[in-house]
Amino acid sequence: MNKLLLKVLAVFAAFFTYTTVSAQHKADDIVGYWLNQDKDAKIEISKQGNKYFGKIVWLATPIDPETNKPKVDKHNPKESLRTRPTLGLEILKSFVFDGKQEWNDGSIYDPKSGKTYDCFMKFESSTSLKIRGYVGISLLGKTTIWTKTTLQ
C-alpha cells in the first residue's frame, strides 16, 4: 500500500511540476530574435500594443542568385507585393498571449511559398519555440522549431 501511495504521489508531483513550469511564461518572453528551423533567416518578434509581430531581420543569403539583387517577395499571390524586399518583411502578425503558455490568434506568412497560415506558438524549452501553421484546424498543418538567438 505504501509503494502504491508513493507512486501516486510521484505522478502527482511530476504533473504538478510540469504544469507549474509550463505556466511560468510571461507574455513578453517571446520578444527577441529567433533563428528559423532552416537556419537561413532570423526573425525579430516584438510587441505592438497587446499583440506580437515578427519580421525578418537577417538572411543567410540576402542576394537572389537568379537576379543578383536583394531577395524580394516573388512568390506573393498579390502581384503588387512581389517586389517588396524579403529583408524586413513582416511574417508573424497579431499574436495574443493566452495568459498561460501559448501565443495564438495570429498568422504566419511563408515567403518561400507565398502562403499565409493561421498559427500558434509556444515554448518547447526556454530557447526553443514551436511554431504551428495550419489551415482551418491545427491538425492540418506543419510544425517548425525556432531557436532563440541574437542578431549578430
pLDDT for the residue 2 = 52
With CA atoms as reference, report the closest residue to 62 among 89, 90, 97, 25: 89
Residue at 136 is within a domain: yes
| pLDDT (mean) for 69-93 | 97
- What is the domain-level CATH number for residue 56? 2.40.128.520
Residue 16's pLDDT band, with cuts at 50, 70 and 90, is very low
> Does residue 79 lie in a domain region?
yes
The three grid cell numbers given for residue 149, joined into one nine-digit string = 538567438
Q: Is residue 100 included in any domain, yes or no?
A: yes
pLDDT, averaged across the chain? 88
Residue 22's pLDDT band (boundaries 50, 70, 90)?
very low
**What is the pTM for the complete model shown?**
0.82
What's the total number of domains in the chain? 1
Q: Confirm whether 11 is domain-assigned.
A: no
pLDDT mean over 103-114:
97
The closest alpha carbon to 135, from 114, 107, 101, belongs to 107
> How far apart (Å, rounded) are the C-alpha atoms in residues 76 and 152?
28
Give the domain extent around 65. 26-149
pLDDT above 50: residue 4: no
Q: Which helix (H) or strand (E) holds 105?
A: strand 102-110
